[in-house]
Chain A
């Protein structure tokens, strides 16, 4: 147990508890954070400048990264609550199935109890699906975008042309939104 000295244990700071994964919204954050929706550029996250680290309710890092990578629209990409967007829920289901598969769970595509329990298990914070960071085009695109994003003059179409390979269609659909 935590070391205490006061009779009433008041000197033991109330230990913060991790927010449990309880519904599809938090499950989506989980899947997004660990790269099941889109591989996370984990290296990129380590390098984002402090300013970009938003307040406590900052969106899951993937979205911070996508804001940086995307460059064009610097508006925050908050976690969308459950939209009825069919593409989005399809994405969620396939990400959930992928998580269930690698976790050795029955692949139901539904946020069932077994999946919920698995998501609340103690785990490492490194994403399960990382984006290769140093393939040269991704590297250049990221650098260019970062530089342009800093300069604020990147345009959505530029971002679309220089996206990391394999995310083109994802980005395009996001840009549409």
Chain B
């Protein structure tokens, strides 16, 4: 039976020639795992063991399209990855463990991971012992199809290196797993740069921004200088943005002029003003407006719900996108601009005929990092031609859209995790 299973797996496994960087071990995206009952460690509480494994799986999920779900109830044959501790000859395994020291764990390509309980495994940040988290991330990497990688910094190095504080899965290991399972992609609810004022240790007030991507009730902070999302994201929207709808928003707009500094979140027919100082929505803002408010009240002539929106500092207008149309709203006059709504492809024409999102956008995002406006739809984005572009190439129509690119090629590793893993 085992040989037959191996034959099935070997024939069924899609092996991508990946310069020897392993093979794709699973063809499905949601994998079930379990710490098997006969394989509990005698060194850590069961909750600690499961917590560490949940975190280990989540770390791989944050950098790959795979999602992992702990399943304690289904029949064992439905569990894709089974983890257990043992000593010496253990868990029916052909490879006996060697006792304390040297070999600390091994993994089988059928999804079994064994930890040598003669080793002194410790929970994260315990300082001493062998970090169970680091070993688990390594062995899960094997089950997913990664071989040993002899590269400083790789989690797949065969030897255990005492845990540098808070190890993470680095860029090349991310690319290795994405080479097997593809990059992460998917539509976003909105994307924005959130501006906030901070005081330096010298008391000076400085302006900082952070980039966020939101998808339904989750969000990631994107660290542009590191080309990745913040370690540990995504997190639930209501954990980080107090008072906006827990299932996410349609749009974010930051109106920022000499006299106005107002952040708005839009959802359905309503909108909220956000108090960035206190990091929560206003129930009543300094002008006495109570929230949530109807979009049509705060922005006369703009019907909710909208698909997305962005504030254009060049002309002090907010552009609201709805279906195939765009509404330009003059902030100073507090009124819809004359002649709007217009079709999106009229206001933002395609620079290359035919390469245009059409309508029904997911996000319109002005990026301080790129100093450009991006229109996102599905897994693609189009950059709006800037004044600088037109100086270089005058033939480009004003506000035209450059040819599309894939979001995953510009903003990396924005990956979902399983809903059960959102809160560890």
Contacts and interface: CB of A to CB of B under 8 A. Distances in A.
Given A18-B101, A126-B148, A133 B10 contact: yes
Interface string B156-173: 001110000000000000
A33 to B, nearest CB: 9
Nearest to B109: A43
Contacts of A42: 108-109
Interface in B98-115: 98-110, 112
B98 A126 contact: no
A143 B101 contact: no
Contacts of B15: 132, 134
B232 interface: no
A124 B10 contact: no
B3 A47 contact: yes
Interface stretch (B70-78, B87-95, B252-260): B87-95
Contact of B130 (A15, A122, A126): A122
Contact of B106 (A43, A48, A103, A125): A125
Given A47-B6, A126-B142, A16 B88 contact: yes
Interface string A19-47: 11000000000000010000000111111
A122 B101 contact: yes
Contacts of B23: 134
B19 to A, nearest CB: 13
Contacts of B112: 46
A123 B104 contact: yes
B42 interface: yes
Contacts of B88: 16
B408 to A, nearest CB: 29
A134 B11 contact: yes
Q: Which DSSP category, helix, strand, loop or mixed, fits chain A's interface?
A: loop
A123 B160 contact: yes
Contact of A46 (B96, B102, B108): B108
B409 to A, nearest CB: 31
Contact of B99 (A18, A43, A126): A18
B291 to A, nearest CB: 54
Interface in A117-146: 118, 120-128, 130, 132-134, 139, 143, 146
B27 interface: no
B21 to A, nearest CB: 12
A79 interface: no
Q: Which of A48, A120, A133, A134: most chain B CB closer than 10 A?
A: A134
Contact of B13 (A46, A61, A134): A134
A123 B158 contact: yes
A34 B158 contact: yes
B118 A15 contact: yes
A53 B109 contact: no
Contact of A134 (B10, B96, B138, B152): B10
A122 B7 contact: no
Contacts of B104: 122-125
B69 interface: no
B325 to A, nearest CB: 54
Contact of B95 (A2, A15, A61): A61
- Chain A's interface size range is 35 or more
A122 B150 contact: no
B39 interface: no
Interface in B128-160: 130, 135, 138-139, 142, 147-148, 150, 152, 158-160
B158 A53 contact: no
B158 A124 contact: yes
A122 B148 contact: no
Interface string A52-76: 0100100001000000000000000
Given A18-B99, A124-B105, A128-B148, A43 B94 contact: no
Nearest to A48: B94
A43 B142 CA distance: 12
Contacts of A127: 148
Interface in B276-322: none
A87 interface: no
B225 interface: no
Contacts of B99: 15-19
Given A43-B10, A46-B6, 17 more contacts: A2-B43, A15-B99, A15-B118, A17-B101, A18-B101, A42-B108, A43-B6, A46-B110, A47-B2, A47-B6, A103-B150, A120-B101, A120-B102, A123-B104, A124-B105, A124-B106, A124-B158
25 contacts: A3-B42, A16-B118, A17-B100, A19-B99, A20-B101, A43-B108, A47-B3, A53-B94, A56-B96, A104-B150, A104-B152, A118-B159, A121-B102, A122-B102, A122-B159, A123-B102, A124-B105, A124-B139, A124-B158, A125-B105, A126-B142, A126-B158, A128-B147, A128-B148, A134-B9
Interface of B: 2-3, 5-7, 9-11, 13, 15, 23, 42-43, 87-88, 94-110, 112, 118-119, 130, 135, 138-139, 142, 147-148, 150, 152, 158-160
Interface of A: 2-3, 15-20, 34, 42-50, 53, 56, 61, 102-104, 118, 120-128, 130, 132-134, 139, 143, 146
